[in-house]
Chains A and B, each alone.
Chain A
Amino acid sequence: MKTQIKQVRTTLTATLLKPVQLGIMALLCGTILFGCSSGDNESNSTEAQEETGIAGQEEAPAEEAPAADNGKGIGPVTTVEVGAEIDDALATTGQSLFEGKCSACHQLSDQKVVGPGLAGVTERRKPEWIMNMIINPEEMTKKDPEAKKLLAEHLTQMTNQNVNEQDARAILEFLRKNDKAS
């Protein structure tokens, strides 16, 4: 029986595309399975496969082709309105969030610690990019060209500190204030 299968496979390899090969292999194997079995393995194998797991819901998102880089990064933030003047109240909120969630790794000067120093960041990057980096750091370092470069340079994955969009906006305002002051 083994040789039989082998022969068929050789022929198939020469002529058919892979999925088709597999299909035919399956047909063959299936036939053999039913031929040999005593009947009580009217198997539930296909059913079991279908029912197995709560799989699916946790599946990693399918790899998408990267969109043309518009400098806004990848994440929930597509447009941000920033005023000409600094919103001081917002910046103050941002400062306290920054101290709790960011300052362990980022300086406000140009000095690298764990991550890059943030002086001038609002001039280097679009506001959307900054907010997406804060909210969505893993996907950014996987897909966004600038973020990828930063990961290669600093070698530490930026921590996801579970900052929501509203808080990220406040941090952005604080970083703008920091840049305006210097």
Chain B
Amino acid sequence: METLINKLKTAAPKAALLMALATGAVLQSCTKSDGGNGGATADALSSDAASAVYVAPGKHDELYSFLSGGFNGQVSVYGLPSGRLLKIIPVFSQHAENGYGYNEETKAMLQTSHGFVPWDDLHHPKLSRTDGQTDGRWLFVNGNNTPRVARVDLKTFETVEIMEIPNSAGNHCSPYPTNNNEYVIAGTRFSVPLDMKGSTGDVALDKYEEEFRGSISFIKVDPKEGDMELDFQILVPGFDYDLANGGKGPSEDWVFFTTYNSEKSGTLKEIGASQNDKDYLAAINWKLAAKYAKEGKLHEMPANYYHNKLDKNTHTAKSTVKKKVRYLLPEECPGMMYLLPAPKSPHGIDVDPSGEFMVVSGKLASAIPVFSFAKMQDAIKNKQFDGEKNGIPVLKYESVLKGEVKEPGLGPLHTEFDGKGNAYTSMFVSSEVVKWKLKDLKVVDRIPVYYSVGHLMIPGGDTKEPHGKYLVAMNKITKDRYLPTGPELAHSAQLIDISGEKMKMLLDFPTVAEPHYAQAIVASKVAPNSVKFHKLDENKHPQAAKKESEANVTRKGNKVIVKMTSIRSHFTPDNIEGVQVGDTVLFHVTNLEQDWDVPHGFAVMGANTAETLIMPGATQTLRWVPKKAGVYPMYCTDFCSALHQEMQGYVRVSPKGSNVPIKFSTGKKKQNIPGVASAK
């Protein structure tokens, strides 16, 4: 009460609002009103929820969270605790909003060995790490469908690198960064027949058991710049690899993978892959693997995969095609890989902050096994094996087990930790989050979520030191949570307060496409590095016009090259003639502004790509092939000033073969406006 009043003295209007909110909530619970569709909410909602997530106008959120967009191929950035959508980062998908994947500079980002693939199924964002903690430098994400791993630079919130993964099919088990980003590790979901010539072999499907193999890729990350390089792969048995997670502290040399379909069934897997009572957790000593790789245990085979990188000085992406991949075979590398029996169809594998406990959530299991890393080491030393699979020792279940969490709920899926000795597991089937103690494996709290929760996320919940204040539940089904918008509804994320003994529901917020997994980080690790504009002096785009006097239009065969500039509130040039039907017109537009948050857009009528959105100091290119003669307006699409509407111009398109010369201008010549002088 004391503090409440003190606060009021200094911030009376804000406090009045808080109190109004609080009073409202109290009145509601006092009168036991259950407002129709809100029944379930009112029970779980704490009375101060609104104020706990309220971030006043002009104030910033405490955390950035990065939610995968699933089938939209994007990452969405939400502020926490407000749940405000801050940005959508296109990764594997074209994005009409800013021209990503449409403009000439970024098209190369979406090149693959299957051609231009402007979509993917993005599942798992993972933040880069220093000493086992998030460092706010990069975000790694996976493309599940056309196997790829991408890197987003958190200085610009842009996708700067995409690497295709060879010998992979369904890059689901990915990407896991080790504690200092030594490697980003990616496993295949589908095993496929490898023809050892760099592609999938043409093999009869009933040969699954003999011919199909999985792969786990070790991508090296440059410690300074973040650039990725596929170092080697481990070819593993033909199971399905689901999720990856890595050790910390004592276990930090290890990385763990859940697998299903240890039956190696190739059809009707919902039955075929659920025959065995247990599947496996695969444990790989990545440091030993790297050592074997160095010591020459490597084999090499041909490959064919794309590696696309955005150059920050030219603002342009380039593709390189790689033709080789190196690999290790576990049967030739003793001590590198073990299998631990796990409940059938396991999904989440999560290592607690101390690095001692590995929690495996089996979607079809009634208990959650917790393995002990120390016991695993002993079991390896004492050879407590239960046979082997493809030359890989299988450890005895009992020999590695710390214990099981009994009757946690239905459909345990994924676990995160708060750093205070508690684990939180999502229950897909019973739609709840269950809190339990790592010490005695006893369930201490549960809270309903709406509905069918997949992953959950605690900021830093997979690192050595979780933030531990909030939990975000990412739900697959929404039904009655928001105003209906047709059969397809926004998916939902829910913010839960985990700072006390009991979990408290604070907020629902809709997500863009399906949120699979997320990562969050305190804003102070990212915000201060945010780029405000690109320095024009550092713009090395070959077609940049860094001042209006450099703007020009030239013809090369049937190509017309336009070097344009934009600044509040005009283009130079804004009158262009001499273009002919069927020409390829390349508008290279440079934004001359050196001010924060003043991008200019550029669009031309009838262009069948997106507009380009050009950041201050950058150059972007729109390709346009006019199909009919006429006069075509072009204009700025991003509101820039009071005279934004006036930021426009015309391109005259003449019939093919006409004798209209190339001509361009801005303003009337007699006015002697700088930049026009170069017009001939």
Would you call A113 and B673 a contact (CB within 8 A)? yes
Of the listed stretches A67-75, A96-104, A120-128, chain B binds: A96-104
Asked if B514 CB lies within 8 Å of chain A CBs, one says no
What's the tally of chain B residues with a CB closer than 8 Å to chain A?
A: 70
Query: Which residues of chain A have C-beta atoms less than 8 A from B20's C-beta?
Result: 29
Would you call B62 and A53 a contact (CB within 8 A)? yes
Would you call A103 and B549 a contact (CB within 8 A)? yes
Would you call A43 and B595 a contact (CB within 8 A)? no
Instruction: Knowing A44-B500, A103-B548 are in contact, say whether A22-B81 is a contact too (CB < 8 A).
Output: no
CA distance A48 to B30 in the complex (A): 24
Q: Which residues of B (17-43) have their CB < 8 Å from a CB of A?
A: 18-20, 22-23, 26-27, 29-30
Query: Which residues of chain A have C-beta atoms less than 8 A from B19's C-beta?
Result: 25-26, 29-30
Asked if A161 CB lies within 8 Å of chain B CBs, one says yes
Would you call B643 and A58 a contact (CB within 8 A)? no
A182 to chain B, nearest CB (A): 14
Query: Which residues of chain B have C-beta atoms less than 8 A from A114's C-beta?
Result: 567-570, 643
Interface string of B557-596 (1 = CB under 8 A from A): 0000000010111101000000000000000000011111
CA distance A107 to B672 in the complex (A): 9
B678 to chain A, nearest CB (A): 12
Asked if A14 CB lies within 8 Å of chain B CBs, one says no
Interface string of A1-44 (1 = CB under 8 A from B): 11001000000000000110011011101101110110011111
The residue that B568 contacts in the complex, of A44, A100, A159, with Cβ under 8 A, is: A159
Interface string of B364-380 (1 = CB under 8 A from A): 00000000000000000
Would you call A26 and B497 a contact (CB within 8 A)? no
Considering only CB atoms, which chain B residue lies closest to A111 in the complex? B671
Secondary structure of the A contact surface, majority rule: loop
Would you call A104 and B60 a contact (CB within 8 A)? no
CA distance A111 to B271 in the complex (A): 81
Besides A22-B12, A58-B60, A161-B595, 17 other A-B contacts (C-beta < 8 A): A5-B23, A25-B16, A30-B5, A33-B22, A41-B48, A43-B52, A44-B52, A48-B81, A52-B55, A53-B59, A54-B527, A55-B56, A55-B59, A107-B672, A159-B598, A160-B596, A162-B595
Chain A residues engaging chain B, CB cutoff 8 angstroms: 1-2, 5, 18-19, 22-23, 25-27, 29-30, 32-34, 36-37, 40-46, 48-49, 51-55, 58-60, 99-101, 103-105, 107, 109, 111, 113-114, 155-157, 159-162
23 interchain pairs (CB within 8 A)? A19-B8, A22-B8, A26-B15, A26-B19, A29-B19, A32-B23, A33-B47, A36-B30, A37-B29, A45-B22, A45-B52, A48-B51, A49-B18, A52-B54, A54-B524, A101-B592, A103-B674, A103-B675, A104-B547, A104-B565, A114-B569, A157-B641, A159-B593
- A-B pairs, 7 with minimum CB distance: A55-B59, A45-B48, A43-B48, A29-B19, A160-B595, A103-B674, A162-B594
